[in-house]
C-alpha cells in the first residue's frame, strides 16, 4: 500500500485572482488571542475561526469551542465558503521569503499520507507531545472530521528526482496564493496528471518521512483513526482506504538547498543574573 496518495482538497472559495491572504494564519499553536482577533477583524472567515473557535474548553459546557467549530465548519461547507476541489491532486506549495538579505524559495508536496504508528519506522518523530494539547486537537478533529492544517515533514531525495516536477508544476496556473503578515509569499498549484502523480508516489516510496513540525497534529490523527476503526468494527463495516487512515502533510525534500533549519529561541533563567539561550 502506497504511503502517499493524492486527495481532493476542500479549498476556500476565491475570486479569479486566487488571493486568499485574508484567510490564512500562522500555525494554531503560535497564534495569540490578540492576533486571532486581528485576523478575524480582517475577515471573519479566516481559518482561525475553525482552528481556534471561541467558547469554553470544557466539552460538556454549552457553546464550547468544539461545538462552535463543528457548527461553523458545517456552515462554511453548506454556504460555499469552502468547496471541494475539481478532482484528486497532489498539490505543490511554494513559499518565498527573505532571510539575511537573500531570497529563499521552498517547495513542498501537499498530499495524503497513510498513518503509521511511530514504531513502524515509516513516519518518524523527534518531539514528545503534551496530553492537554492532544485532547484539544482530538476533540476538534472529532467535531469537524477534517485536517485543518498540514503536518510538515521531510523526505529524502538526494538525486533531486522531484526537482523537475516542482519546476514543471510552478510553470502552470496558480490555484491559490497568499502573503502573510511576515511577508512570506505562498502559492499553490495542483498536479492532476496521473503519470506525474505516480512518479511522486513512487519517489516518496515507503518513507521514511521525518516530522519537522506538527507532532500533535499527527498523533491526534492516529488517535482519531483508531477511534474510527473501532467504530467501524463495532458496526460491522470494513471500508477500504477510508479518509481517516490518512493525514494531510506538506512534504519537503531534505536535500533542498533552500531548506533552512533555525534554532528555537527560548530563554531560561540561570544562576545569578545570567541568561542561557536554548
Q: Which residues contact 246 (CB under 8 A, 6 or more apart)?
A: 5, 7, 112, 113, 114, 115
Give the pairing type, strands 102-114 and 90-99: antiparallel
Largest CA distance in the chain: 64
Reported confidence tier of residue 90, pLDDT bands at 50, 70, 90: very high
Interior CA angle at 180 toward 68 and 23, to 5°? 30
Quote the pLDDT of residue 205.
92
Domain ranges of the chain: 4-256
> What pLDDT is recorded for position 246?
98
Assess whether the previous peptide bond of 37 is cis (omega < 30° from 0): no
Element (H, E) at 60: none
Asked if 140 contacts 49 with a C-beta cutoff of 8 angstroms, the reply is: no
Q: Pick the closest to residue 180 from 17, 16, 80, 35 (CA basis).
A: 35
pLDDT higher for 14 or 78? 78
Q: Where are the alpha helices (DSSP H) in 48-103?
A: 48-51, 65-78
- Asked whether residue 17 carries a pLDDT value surpassing 50, the answer given is yes
Can you give the pLDDT at residue 247?
98
- Residue 139 to residues 68, 69, 87, 135, 221, Cα–Cα distance (Å): 12, 10, 29, 6, 11
Which pLDDT band holds residue 277 (cuts at 50, 70, 90)? Answer: very low
Whole-prediction pTM = 0.91
What residues pair up with 179 in beta bridges, in sequence order?
185
Per-residue model confidence as pLDDT tens digits over 227-270: 999 999 999 999 999 999 999 999 999 998 888 877 765 556 65
Q: So what's the pLDDT on residue 260?
A: 82
pLDDT of res. 278: 45
What is the rounded average pLDDT of the residues 51-74?
Answer: 95
- Name the percent of the chain lying above pLDDT 90: 84
Chain segment 104-154, per-residue pLDDT in tens: 999 999 999 999 999 999 999 998 888 899 999 999 999 999 999 999 999
Nearest alpha-carbon partner for 255 in 161, 162, 168, 156: 156
Average pLDDT score over the chain: 92
The answer, yes or no, to whether residue 274 has pLDDT greater than 70, is: no
| 35-48 average pLDDT score | 96
- pLDDT average, residue stretch 85-106: 94
- Using an 8 Å Cβ cutoff, are 223 and 134 in contact? yes
Q: Supply 34's cell numbers.
A: 490578540
Query: How do strand 246-253 and strand 151-155 relate by DSSP bridges?
Result: parallel
Whether pLDDT at 2 is above 90: no
Amino acid at each position: 500500500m502506497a504511503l502517499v496518495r493524492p486527495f481532493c482538497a476542500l479549498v476556500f472559495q476565491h475570486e479569479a485572482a486566487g488571493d486568499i491572504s485574508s484567510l490564512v494564519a500562522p500555525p494554531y499553536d503560535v497564534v495569540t488571542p490578540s492576533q486571532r482577533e486581528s485576523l478575524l477583524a480582517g475577515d471573519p472567515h479566516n481559518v482561525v475561526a475553525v482552528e481556534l473557535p471561541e467558547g469554553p474548553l470544557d466539552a460538556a459546557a454549552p457553546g464550547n469551542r468544539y461545538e462552535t467549530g463543528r457548527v461553523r465548519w458545517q456552515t462554511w461547507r453548506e454556504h460555499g465558503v469552502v468547496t471541494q476541489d475539481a478532482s484528486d491532486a497532489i498539490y505543490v506549495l511554494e513559499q518565498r521569503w527573505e532571510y539575511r538579505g537573500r531570497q529563499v524559495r521552498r517547495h513542498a508536496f501537499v498530499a495524503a499520507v497513510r498513518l503509521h504508528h511511530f514504531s513502524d519506522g515509516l513516519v518518524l518523530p523527534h518531539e514528545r507531545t503534551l496530553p492537554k494539547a492532544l485532547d484539544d486537537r482530538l476533540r476538534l478533529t472529532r467535531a469537524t472530521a477534517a485536517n485543518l492544517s498540514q503536518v510538515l515533514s521531510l523526505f529524502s531525495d538526494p538525486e533531486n528526482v522531484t526537482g523537475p516536477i516542482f519546476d514543471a508544476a510552478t510553470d502552470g496556473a496558480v490555484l491559490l496564493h497568499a502573503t502573510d503578515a511576515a511577508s512570506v509569499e505562498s502559492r499553490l498549484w495542483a498536479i492532476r496528471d496521473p503519470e506525474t502523480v505516480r512518479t511522486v508516489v513512487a519517489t516518496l516510496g515507503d518513507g521514511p518521512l521525518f516530522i519537522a513540525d506538527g507532532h500533535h497534529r499527527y498523533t491526534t490523527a492516529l488517535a482519531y483513526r483508531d477511534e474510527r476503526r473501532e467504530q467501524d468494527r463495532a458496526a460491522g463495516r470494513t471500508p477500504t482506504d477510508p479518509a481517516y487512515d490518512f493525514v494531510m502533510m506538506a512534504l519537503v525534500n531534505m536535500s533542498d538547498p533552500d531548506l533552512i533549519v533555525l534554532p528555537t529561541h527560548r530563554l531560561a533563567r540561570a544562576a545569578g543574573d545570567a541568561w542561557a539561550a536554548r
